[in-house]
A and B are shown apart, each in its own frame.
Chain A
């Protein structure tokens, strides 16, 4: 545990990537295999199951600290992190320990079966044997949130440095639904064949947002243009007589989209297709609004009605594996040709479509198409270099997303709440309203888009202009106007305003506008009528 905590502290005490990677490499070069495996798991979002509810942890921490529970609860939002709050209130330890990361995790997992009194004893005893930094890490294992300033990419890079393996190959090995319980460090990292796991997906190639004018990309003929679909990115793996559906977040979604079982009839074994999963309007042969797909996200099993109302479709745009061979190094144009050949025989009622290519002879014409993307229920265009390989992760230069300009509306800030984590102690979470006659109707929350300096400024203002408090939420003088940008709008019965926005954020602080000049509910309904 001490080695892992030291790694955590080193990473936490620098903002520089190179130093973080060096610390990870040194750790992976020295730690025992079991600890390495758990470290890889934790830094790639695979955390141990939560053995104890956070309610109990709060109670026990307050009790051990000798403070009333209400005082603990008041402190938590100010610290912004439960694991940290617990670590900060506990009295100093009275004993020590020498156990490894794996020892502690194993012990925690055993608590799953224990009686509550035994759990409490075990946790209080653990707290009493750890110093502050260890407690924080231990509490993060307990509460399950292990976001500590190390991306999976950095971890993979550190591991590559320590093992001398290729970073891209390691990234591939770390994909899929393995856990430290189902594999070993040796099998995961050192086994000869990275595609040994039948279900294992490839690391997704991700696009950057186009920054300048498309003309800067050179000849349009060197690029392939597609719609940027507004669905769920997915890979369909067809291997060993079975099929697997993966999300970009490496969630296995096979059971959530039972429609794709039929693809086994059309796709031969040894094939991996990359594409967009959409809810499909078969009559119009186009996507349904994202709202319809949303109803299926998060459902482990899908009721019949939903299968009928929002049937899933894979709009395929890339072929990563064909005839058991990894195609990723081939140029996109060749992979696309292979994909077209593969899908040439599939019937129209099959839940797969080839993503249409858009005419690419003229940037102007493409710009016009992009302008019409909302009519196609797309978010804009994708531009992919015809000669490019399928990269691992987000690599700049070959894949660009050329999104539509967002929709916007000017709204009045009416409630404010403090943020969490690095934004604790700053007011960063706001509720916005538009006018309905003389009344302000709240319609969205937004958390992002301002600079730290702007957040500090608005925080100072909120402190001085609070009208009323409801727990952590403050009602403030309706004075400041913000331009809210969003990607989509849908009718909603859950909100008083009758609308729900997609990806709302603060695009600008409109210092030039007074509250009276903000938009109205009618304006919002006009946008709903046009784009909903």
Chain B
């Protein structure tokens, strides 16, 4: 087997490295900077050059080598290359070839393009290790243009009625994608510190984002009427959020496809915006790999594997400690 599933994570014996391991190892290849994939404690890290700044920002002083997309290197007896996953800036699928057999680890991925991430590219392989966070037919994403219009219309009508618009979005990736959709002509954009930290890292690496104002203890909300406030989901409904007075609340997440999830979070609005593939996206991505062997990791794995078997794939569930997109974990740093 090119890759093996070990207690510490996905392991390549030929190259003696792990991919996104969840226990400390000597050599870790990292698909992207989300905390369930890039963990602290490894001796050496390898990621794409675009993903590196956020990983460094989150993990501090680590030994991190970088590699551009599509460049092939040799690690032991394995040929390794990183390919765009379209999930967040710098996110990668990792291709591993040993003795002519090709396996690909998808990491997290999204097949439709957005303004910030390098678009997803299918990679031909024999075995594909895929996430399936949203692996149910109820998860289909509206076009990004539709969501852009929904968010801006909501913001504009709140601004007209004198309410702040509080939008909860994961602070790395989702928040910046929301920023890329906002019509800055509507009003000022305020940010929670967790979001602004990531903004600063991305701006420093040359990713263009609209102007934002970080909320600090000194910030007077009245000085920014009609503002859109971008914060991690856990900040909504907290004491931090109450300073903005009259407000409408919303979340940007794939989970907002489900009315029950939105109501549980007591949000006024849910915007269906995910950095993961939807049902159609997962199916097309898997078909495009040409792989016969599919391993599904996190998400609705049992159901999705059964569906893939129905479609004629040799599909199997692999338990991992990845979580995918979640609304229930606090991510305010």
User: Hey, which bits of chain A sit against chain B, CB under 8 A?
Assistant: 12-16, 65, 67-68, 70-72, 74-75, 78-81, 84-85, 88-89, 136, 149, 420-426, 452, 456, 459-460
A81 to B261, CA, bound (A): 12
User: Of A84, A89, A459, which is within 8 A of B259 by CB?
Assistant: A84
Chain A to chain B contacts (Cβ below 8 Å), 9 pairs: A14-B268, A15-B266, A70-B306, A71-B307, A79-B260, A84-B260, A88-B139, A424-B261, A460-B328
**B71 beta carbon closer than 8 Å to chain A:** no
Q: Is the pair A80, B268 in contact by a Cβ cutoff of 8 Å?
A: no
Q: Is the pair B264, A452 in contact by a Cβ cutoff of 8 Å?
A: yes
Minimum C-beta distance from A436 to chain B (A): 34
A136 to B258, CA, bound (A): 12
Q: Is the pair B136, A75 in contact by a Cβ cutoff of 8 Å?
A: yes
Q: Can you list, as one digit per residue, whether each of B274-316 has a CB less than 8 Å from chain A (1) or not (0)? A: 0000000000000000000000000010010011001000000
A317 to B95, CA, bound (A): 78
Q: Is the pair B260, A422 in contact by a Cβ cutoff of 8 Å?
A: yes
Q: Is the pair B137, A78 in contact by a Cβ cutoff of 8 Å?
A: no
A290 to B249, CA, bound (A): 45
Name the B residues within 8 Å of A456 (CB-CB): 328
Q: Which residues of B, 178-219, contact A by the 8 Å Cβ criterion?
A: none
Given A13-B269, A71-B307, A456-B328, A85–B138 Cβ distance below 8 Å? yes
Minimum C-beta distance from A336 to chain B (A): 43
User: Of B136, B260, B300, which is within 8 A of A423 by CB?
Assistant: B260
Name the B residues within 8 Å of A88 (CB-CB): 137-140, 257
Name the A residues within 8 Å of B266 (CB-CB): 15
A80 to B138, CA, bound (A): 12
Q: Is the pair B137, A67 in contact by a Cβ cutoff of 8 Å?
A: yes
Name the B residues within 8 Å of A72 (CB-CB): 137
Q: Can you list, as one digit per residue, whether each of B220-257 has a CB less than 8 Å from chain A (1) or not (0)? A: 00000000000000000000000000001100000101
Minimum C-beta distance from B272 to chain A (A): 10
Q: Is the pair B264, A89 in contact by a Cβ cutoff of 8 Å?
A: no
A88 to B141, CA, bound (A): 10
Q: A12-B259, A71-B137, A136-B259 are in contact. List 14 more A-B contacts (CB 8 A).
A: A13-B269, A65-B137, A67-B137, A68-B307, A70-B306, A72-B137, A75-B136, A75-B303, A78-B138, A78-B300, A81-B260, A84-B258, A85-B138, A89-B138
A478 to B257, CA, bound (A): 34
Q: Is the pair B310, A68 in contact by a Cβ cutoff of 8 Å?
A: yes
Q: Is the pair A75, B138 in contact by a Cβ cutoff of 8 Å?
A: yes
A456 to B138, CA, bound (A): 22
Q: Is the pair A89, B328 in contact by a Cβ cutoff of 8 Å?
A: no
Given A13-B269, A79-B258, A456-B328, A422–B138 Cβ distance below 8 Å? no
Minimum C-beta distance from B18 to chain A (A): 22
Q: Is the pair B260, A421 in contact by a Cβ cutoff of 8 Å?
A: yes
A72 to B137, CA, bound (A): 8
A65 to B139, CA, bound (A): 12
Name the B residues within 8 Å of A13 (CB-CB): 268-269
Name the A residues within 8 Å of B249 (CB-CB): 15
Instruction: Return the chain A residue nearest B269 by Cβ.
Output: A13
A159 to B300, CA, bound (A): 44
Name the B residues within 8 Å of A16 (CB-CB): 268
Instruction: Return the chain A residue nearest B249 by Cβ.
Output: A15
By secondary structure, the A interface counts as: helix
Q: Is the pair B268, A15 in contact by a Cβ cutoff of 8 Å?
A: yes
Minimum C-beta distance from A79 to chain B (A): 6
User: Of A68, A424, A452, which is within 8 A of B258 by CB?
Assistant: A424
Q: Is the pair B137, A80 in contact by a Cβ cutoff of 8 Å?
A: no
**B263 beta carbon closer than 8 Å to chain A:** yes
Given A14-B268, A425-B258, A456-B328, A75–B137 Cβ distance below 8 Å? yes
Instruction: Return the chain B residue nearest A12 by Cβ.
Output: B259
User: Of A14, A70, A79, A460, which is within 8 A of B138 by CB?
Assistant: A79
Minimum C-beta distance from B168 to chain A (A): 14
A68 to B269, CA, bound (A): 32
A387 to B303, CA, bound (A): 63
Minimum C-beta distance from B146 to chain A (A): 11
Minimum C-beta distance from B48 to chain A (A): 31
Instruction: Return the chain B residue nearest A457 by Cβ.
Output: B328
Q: Is the pair B307, A80 in contact by a Cβ cutoff of 8 Å?
A: no
Q: Which of B249, B267, B268 has the most CB of A within 10 A?
A: B268
A434 to B293, CA, bound (A): 46
Name the B residues within 8 Å of A459 (CB-CB): 328
Minimum C-beta distance from A70 to chain B (A): 8
- 8 nearest interchain CB pairs? A88-B138, A424-B260, A422-B263, A80-B260, A74-B303, A422-B264, A422-B260, A75-B136
A182 to B66, CA, bound (A): 75
Minimum C-beta distance from B322 to chain A (A): 13
Name the A residues within 8 Å of B140 (CB-CB): 88
Name the A residues within 8 Å of B258 (CB-CB): 78-80, 84, 424-425
Q: Is the pair A420, B138 in contact by a Cβ cutoff of 8 Å?
A: no
Q: Is the pair B264, A423 in contact by a Cβ cutoff of 8 Å?
A: yes
Q: Which residues of B, 52-68, contact A by the 8 Å Cβ criterion?
A: none
Instruction: Return the chain A residue nearest B154 by Cβ.
Output: A13
A181 to B307, CA, bound (A): 46
Name the B residues within 8 Å of A452 (CB-CB): 264
A71 to B303, CA, bound (A): 7
Minimum C-beta distance from B315 to chain A (A): 14
Minimum C-beta distance from A209 to chain B (A): 23
Instruction: Return the chain A residue nearest B267 by Cβ.
Output: A15
A422 to B270, CA, bound (A): 13
Q: Which of B136, B138, B303, B328 has the most CB of A within 10 A?
A: B138
Name the B residues within 8 Å of A70 (CB-CB): 306
Name the B residues within 8 Å of A67 (CB-CB): 137
A85 to B328, CA, bound (A): 22
Name the A residues within 8 Å of B328 (CB-CB): 456, 459-460
Name the A residues within 8 Å of B136 (CB-CB): 71, 74-75, 78
Minimum C-beta distance from A429 to chain B (A): 14
A472 to B266, CA, bound (A): 26
A216 to B244, CA, bound (A): 37
Instruction: Return the chain B residue nearest A421 by Cβ.
Output: B260
Instruction: Return the chain B residue nearest A78 by Cβ.
Output: B136
A409 to B255, CA, bound (A): 37
Q: Is the pair A81, B259 in contact by a Cβ cutoff of 8 Å?
A: yes
Name the A residues within 8 Å of B306 (CB-CB): 70-71
Name the A residues within 8 Å of B139 (CB-CB): 88
A12 to B261, CA, bound (A): 13
A88 to B139, CA, bound (A): 7
A424 to B255, CA, bound (A): 11
Name the B residues within 8 Å of A14 (CB-CB): 248, 268
Q: Is the pair A89, B137 in contact by a Cβ cutoff of 8 Å?
A: yes
A88 to B268, CA, bound (A): 20
Q: Is the pair A425, B138 in contact by a Cβ cutoff of 8 Å?
A: no
